[in-house]
Amino acid sequence: MAPSGTRERWLAPLLFAACTRLGASTEAPPPTLGDESAAGADMGGDSGQDSPAAARAGSKARGGAGGGGSDAARETTNPYVEPAGAPAELPARTFRLSHAEYAASVEALVQKTIDVSDLEPELDNGIYRNMSSSGLVRTDLLEEYYAKARAVTDALDTEELEALVPGHELEAEAKSRFIAASVERAFRRPATDAELEAYGSLFELGASEGDITLAFRSVLRALLTSPHFLYRTELGASDAGDEFSLTDHEVASLLSYGLEGRPPSEELFAAADRGELTDPKRLEDHVRELVAGTRAEASLAAFAAEWLELDAFQISGAPGDPPLPEKDAASFPGFDDVRSAMQEEARSFVEGHAGLDATLEELLTTDVPEPRGALGDFYRSGQSGSAGGERHGVLSLGALLSLGAHETRGSPTLRGLFVRKRLLCQEVHPPGRAPPALDRTQAGADAKTTRELYEQHAKQAACVGCHAELDAIGFTLESFDGAGRFRTEENGVAIDTTGDLSGTDRDRALADHAELARALAESEWVRECVATQAFRRYFGELESARGLPPIQAARRALRAGTFGEALVALWSTPSTYRRRREP
Amino acid sequence: MRPMVLPRHGLCSRRALLRSALGGVFLAPFLRQRSLEAKDATPKRLVLVFTPDAHPREWWPSTDDGGKLGLGAPLRDFAGLESELLFVRQLDHSWTFDNHHEAGMAQLFTGARFFDDATHYANGPSIDQVLLARTDLRGGTPIPDVHLAVADSGEGNQRHVTCYSGPGQPIPHEASPSRAFSKLFAGVSFGGSSAEGAPTSTLERELQKRMFELDRDAIQSLAAHLGQAERERLDVHLDALGELEQRLRPVNDAGTPPATGCEAVATSGVTTSDRQAANIEKWGQVQADLLVNAFLCDRTRVADLAFGSSGSQHTGLLGLKNGGTDSWHEVAHLSLGEQERTQSVSLDGEALTAAAAYAEFDRLWAARVAYLAKRLKAIPEGNGSMLDNTLIYWGVECGTDHNHGPSDMQYLLIGGRNLGFQSGQLLALPSATSAHRLHTSVLHAFGDVEATGFGIEESCGPLTGVLA
């Protein structure tokens, strides 16, 4: 992880005073409004915002929102500014294997699958689970690694053990060949002379009482607990200077674990042997080959689920707890019956429209097919839901809409917050003092619609300053209730889906969520954000500066290209193999 | 508001900690290879406790003319333990960010700022880890520290973590009592079970020793090419190697016999739901029993027991009904405003003011802490009780009444009479004072008498009136 001082330089421009509008052009991304990491908990349940009514009035003054209709001619408040280029070098590091990568690596070495579900749970640091800085090996996990190593090597029968030995004979003469091959598979690089000697010595100790199989098992067991096995390294050659290139084999591991979740294939290893992975002219070819594979497709789907927070949508909860998001059965009868279908709808849509051949515009704007069966019936089971109901893009998926909601109602705040955080990479700061609770005021009690409730609430002085930036986005999704059901009215009042997008390069008044989707699809800030999210997830690293080559390359690729092209661009810059040593 | 992030320095470095403690450059694992026979005849123990959302104003005790404490509703399960309690009023955290939840968690027991602007982890070790590195608090026990959770899944993000081994190095909680038992009592013979994992032959032992050597050499070779932050992460691995080597040290076939009074704890019957009071009571009782027995068996002397997490919702717990949201965090918000705190909510069908309901919520957690204190109090040790040699150091992440600010923080020191704590009082400070000074006093009590400060306030000094 980069020193905090370094990171501060990048993040500082993001951290605007809570909920203030960005002024004219700066080099910074648009302001994010706050980090509601407790999913609304510290906004007083949703409270605290600039008056949406005032926001709409302001929008009208600037171009006529409120009545619907986009206003692309309106002057933007935060035009996109191309960043100055940042150095390609990323910090030198070690990167502990994730549990899934560990399992794949064990299998690659001993040709046996292992169960890793009982390993110490991986830390969720609130960014992505595979951030390299989270990969600590504490005593309990180390003990589990040792136990797994012992169990899996003890379980190898003679035939299985022979299969791992070049020549397939369990004899002392095979020692050197076996160790060289095993170290290469385990450490994802050729063995050093010192390693051949050290593991050779261990082999001989294992064989010292006449059991030759113990010699082979002991070497494998030792390799499975070695830090060279448990960590990917990004250290370069031992004589590298402060700024240096990784070894080709280190690049092979970075690419293969990043894109395929497993150690390098024989083909990639051979390319590393030939020195092609630190050759800028050849790197992209190899990246393209990896990205074309089915494993890369799976890794992209996994990234999309994490990025879009779809993994928070559960079919079953933790022991004793209901699944998330929880819904009040009286408010949304039948929700639990369609959880699986709703999750499947989201999975299918995202895999199809955030896949290698899809574009960001598709993901954000493609019409969601009306589902058949129980889920379709559910979506039309709201107060008024017999007509219309068109859904445009990922934001209108039932799974995301029900996550952007509370148990009894939808939440324009949470929905707006999602757009700010996940699509614009903007920070939104919760208010320092807790605002009044949303439902506890007379104004709240009098509100007939969710929109009225939020607008009334936002009139309170304590709420001024935040919610307009969030709710004005979320209001465009008001045609969907807290469980994703379509509605044209709420408690007899016609639904108003007008809203406003601010703090971006595509600021405009919005008639509905379709206009929101189109505006986001046009935004360069959104493309930079998606590229940034991909960098964090795939490199397991926070960006230390704006303008990092892989992020900017992926952003440009997202303009007209597919997610697959963006992945190729992300991985094909010198940042894949250039590193710097930190003090 | 911008976070204020300082560069890592001095106290935040594990290596620096070790150097200052030992006066020379030693590797951390060497510390762990102390003889098990080096046990202190009068052990000291530390338990850090966290409960969520801060306490209501009713948590503060009243005092009579003689200074005798009168406990309010949230602490009524501490009745009889008044003389063991040390309250300190007007303590502030030294910095804040946003609504203080994450800033409060990061500095609660570390006194540090954020490690970075993304994870909001603490940029330094927590007080338990400082003491483990700088004193002989561990006393030769086989397990340096244990970190348990109740009413929480043990997630690793900044709102769930209370202890850190170093900058950006969160120590996760173990939420499962059965897994906690396995960790705490591995190798201990209860009813004839034997140690697992230890090598059984001379050759096996020699092979294992070689493997440890290979792994240790590998870490050192990797670390030689890395910057400080990365080296510190590998230090954790290096420490773990030393610990594991101790754990797997061969014992007799019957395992390590338990000490007198050391009994296995039944860990069954716990449902890990954070919404039913009965579940939480059982879960809290079992985790506390595990700690007490770990102390009785002298398996460890340092623990962290966390209930819930910062800003946790516990929806519907105690039968809460509050206009549809039913989240306790929302009720906590109500407790601050004079008007809001009189609003009505329902607990199991009974209408209460938000303030009264919040006191009941706070009591639920307090009762679990009281249970731990009473169990320790009931165990004779030396001339007193185990509680006399144990400090339960209880903190929350926000100020009084869930004040989203760094002021009037609520730390409570329970027990520790033999460590010098002036229990049985409300220490009312004349003006707002940094909580770092209280932490410094705690360092002194545990033998780190050269500590001049804590966390980012390296020279703040101790707090007068805390220690005898």
Which CATH number does the domain housing residue B44 bear?
3.40.720.10
**Better-scored residue on pLDDT, B17 or B304:** B304
Report yes or no: B4 at the A interface, CB cutoff 8 Å.
Answer: no
Exposed e or buried b for every residue in A526-547, given b needs 16+ CB within 10 A?
bbbbbbbbbbbbbbbbbbbbbb
Q: Are residues B124 and B173 in the same domain?
A: yes
Q: Are residues B164 and B89 in the same domain?
A: yes
Answer whether residue A374 shows pLDDT above 50. Answer: yes
**Better-scored residue on pLDDT, A28 or A439:** A439
Give the contacts of B48 (CB within 8 A, at least 6 positions apart). Answer: B109, B126, B127, B128, B162, B163, B303, B304, B305, B393, B394, B395
Answer whether residue A194 shows pLDDT above 60. Answer: yes
Q: Are residues B304 and B213 in the same domain?
A: no
Q: Smallest CA–CA separation between A222 and chain B, in Å? A: 6
Considering only CB atoms, A407 lies closest to which of B183, B207, B324, namely B324
Answer whether residue A418 shows pLDDT above 80. Answer: yes
Answer whether residue A430 shows pLDDT above 90. Answer: no
pLDDT band at A388, cuts 50/70/90?
low
**Better-scored residue on pLDDT, A477 or A315:** A477
Q: Spell out which residues of chain A touch residue B337, defining contact as CB-CB under 8 Å.
A: 436
Structure tokens at A54: 């005032």
Q: Are residues B154 and B214 in the same domain?
A: no
Report yes or no: A141 at the B interface, CB cutoff 8 Å.
Answer: yes
pLDDT at residue number A124: 82
Structure tokens at A384: 């008024």
Answer whether residue A294 shows pLDDT above 50. Answer: yes
pLDDT band at B21, cuts 50/70/90?
very low
Mark yes or no for CB contact B214/A198 under 8 Å.
Answer: yes
Task: Give the span between the Cα atoms of B305 and A267, in whole angstroms.
Answer: 50
Q: Smallest CA–CA separation between A71 and chain B, in Å? A: 32
The 3-state secondary structure of A504-529, one letter per residue: CCCCEEECCHHHHHHHHHHCHHHHHH
Average pLDDT over residues B56-64: 95
Per-residue CA distances from B221 to A155, A224, B13, B188 (Å): 31, 18, 20, 35
Give the model confidence (pLDDT) of A527-580 as tens digits. 999 999 999 999 999 999 999 999 999 999 999 899 999 999 999 999 999 999
On whether residue B228 sits in a domain, the answer given is: yes
Q: Are residues B138 and B227 in the same domain?
A: no
Q: What is the ipTM of this complex?
A: 0.86
Q: Give the best residue of B96, B116, B310, B327 to mutate against chain A (max A CB count within 10 A).
A: B116
Mark yes or no for CB contact B237/A142 under 8 Å.
Answer: yes
Identify the helix (H) or strand (E) that includes residue A91. strand A90-91
pLDDT at residue number B137: 97
Q: Spell out which residues of chain A touch residue B326, defining contact as CB-CB under 8 Å.
A: 407
Mark yes or no for CB contact B271/A319 under 8 Å.
Answer: yes
In chain B, residues 339-358 whose CB comes closer than 8 Å to chain A? 340, 343
pLDDT at residue number B259: 62
Give the model confidence (pLDDT) of B301-316 as tens digits. 999 999 999 988 898 9
pLDDT at residue number A77: 61
pLDDT at residue number A546: 93
pLDDT at residue number A333: 95
pLDDT at residue number A222: 98
Alpha helices in A240-279 (DSSP H): 248-260, 266-273
Q: Are residues B113 and B209 in the same domain?
A: no
pLDDT band at B89, cuts 50/70/90?
very high
Q: Are residues B215 and B324 in the same domain?
A: no
Q: Are residues B76 and B24 in the same domain?
A: yes
Answer whether residue B395 shows pLDDT above 80. Answer: yes
pLDDT at residue number A24: 29
**Better-scored residue on pLDDT, A62 or B375:** B375
Q: Are residues B155 and B141 in the same domain?
A: yes
Mark yes or no for CB contact A238/B225 under 8 Å.
Answer: yes
Give the model confidence (pLDDT) of A29-83 as tens digits. 444 333 333 333 334 434 332 222 333 233 333 333 333 334 444 445 678 999 9
B91 forms beta bridges with B409, B433
Q: Smallest CA–CA separation between B459 and chain A, in Å? A: 23
> For B50, left (φ over 0), alpha (ψ -120 to 50), or beta?
beta
Q: Are residues B356 and B423 in the same domain?
A: yes
On whether residue B256 sits in a domain, the answer given is: no
Mark yes or no for CB contact A228/B218 under 8 Å.
Answer: yes
Give the model confidence (pLDDT) of A512-531 as tens digits. 999 999 999 999 999 999 99
pLDDT at residue number A13: 28
Average pLDDT over residues B181-198: 69
Report chain B's mean pLDDT, rounded to a whole number: 87
Considering only CB atoms, B272 lies closest to which of A35, A319, A437, namely A319
Please answer whether residues A354 and A301 qualify as being in contact, where contact means their C-beta atoms are separated by less than 8 angstroms.
yes
Mark yes or no for CB contact B119/A41 under 8 Å.
Answer: no
Please answer whether residues B184 and B294 qualify as being in contact, where contact means their C-beta atoms are separated by less than 8 angstroms.
yes
Give the model confidence (pLDDT) of A330-373 as tens digits. 999 999 999 999 999 999 999 999 999 999 999 999 999 999 99
Answer whether residue A21 shows pLDDT above 70. Answer: no
On whether residue B3 sits in a domain, the answer given is: no
pLDDT band at B156, cuts 50/70/90?
confident
Q: Is B192 exposed, middle or buried (0-12, 13-18, 19+ CB in 10 A)?
A: exposed
Q: Are residues B349 and B428 in the same domain?
A: yes
In chain B, residues 173-202 whose CB comes closer than 8 Å to chain A? 183, 197
Q: Spell out which residues of chain A touch residue B207, defining contact as CB-CB under 8 Å.
A: 202, 205-206, 218
pLDDT at residue number B340: 85
Mark yes or no for CB contact B7/A133 under 8 Å.
Answer: no
Report yes or no: B329 at the A interface, CB cutoff 8 Å.
Answer: yes
For residue B117, the enclosing domain spans 10-193+261-445
Q: Is A107 exposed, middle or buried (0-12, 13-18, 19+ CB in 10 A)?
A: middle
In chain A, residues 534-563 whose CB comes closer than 8 Å to chain B? 542
pLDDT at residue number B155: 81
Nearest to A454 by CA among A475, A435, A483, A469: A475
For tokens 């095993």, the residue is A182
**Highest mean pLDDT: which of B7-16, B216-225, B251-260?**
B216-225
Phi, psi of B21 (to 5 degrees): -80, -35
For tokens 């007799």, the residue is B252
On whether residue B205 sits in a domain, the answer given is: yes
Report chain A's mean pLDDT, rounded to a whole number: 85
On whether residue B131 sits in a domain, the answer given is: yes
* Sign, CA torsion B175/B177/B179/B184: positive
Nearest to B310 by CA among B92, B158, B127, B146: B158
On whether residue B23 sits in a domain, the answer given is: yes
On whether residue B461 sits in a domain, the answer given is: no
- Least confidently predicted of A405-419, A536-550, B194-208: B194-208
Please give the tally of structural domains in chain B: 2
On whether residue B73 sits in a domain, the answer given is: yes
In chain A, residues 413-432 whose CB comes closer than 8 Å to chain B? 429-432
pLDDT at residue number A12: 27
Q: Smallest CA–CA separation between B2 and chain A, in Å? A: 6
Report yes or no: B169 at the A interface, CB cutoff 8 Å.
Answer: yes
Mark yes or no for CB contact A11/B118 under 8 Å.
Answer: yes
Answer whether residue A9 shows pLDDT above 50. Answer: no
Task: Give the span between the Cα atoms of A79 and A74, in whole angstroms.
Answer: 12
pLDDT at residue number B339: 85
Give the contacts of B169 (CB within 8 A, at least 6 positions apart). Answer: A136, B121, B125, B232, B233, B236
pLDDT > 90 in chain B, percent? 69
Q: Spell out which residues of chain A touch residue B141, defining contact as CB-CB under 8 Å.
A: none
pLDDT at residue number B264: 82
Mark yes or no for CB contact A92/B313 under 8 Å.
Answer: no
Nearest to A471 by CA among A523, A410, A522: A410
In chain A, residues 241-280 whose CB comes closer than 8 Å to chain B? none
Answer whether residue A408 shows pLDDT above 70. Answer: yes
Nearest to B365 by CA among B156, B60, B78, B87: B78
Q: Spell out which residues of chain B touch residue A133, defining contact as CB-CB under 8 Å.
A: 119, 168, 229, 233
Give the contacts of B116 (CB within 8 A, at least 6 positions apart). Answer: A1, A4, A7, A8, A542, B5, B168
Average pLDDT over residues B361-387: 96
Strands (E) in B21-84, as ranges, are: 45-50, 62-63, 69-70
In chain A, residues 67-96 whose CB comes closer than 8 Å to chain B? 91-94
Structure tokens at A307: 């990025």
Report yes or no: A357 at the B interface, CB cutoff 8 Å.
Answer: no
Report yes or no: B231 at the A interface, CB cutoff 8 Å.
Answer: no
pLDDT band at B14, cuts 50/70/90?
very low
Mark yes or no for CB contact B405/A143 under 8 Å.
Answer: no
pLDDT at residue number A7: 30
pLDDT at residue number A473: 97
What is the interface size between A and B, counted as CB pairs within 8 Å? 261
pLDDT band at A463, cuts 50/70/90?
low
pLDDT > 70 in chain A, percent? 82
Query: What is the 8-class DSSP label of residue A381?
Result: -
Domain end call among B250, B271, B295:
B250
Mark yes or no for CB contact B323/A440 under 8 Å.
Answer: yes
Give the contacts of B160 (CB within 8 A, at least 6 positions apart). Answer: B149, B152, B154, B173, B306, B309, B310
Mark yes or no for CB contact A5/B7 under 8 Å.
Answer: yes
Q: Are residues B166 and B246 in the same domain?
A: no
- Least confidently predicted of A104-108, A221-225, A456-460, B142-146: A456-460
Average pLDDT over residues B176-202: 75
Report yes or no: B315 at the A interface, CB cutoff 8 Å.
Answer: yes
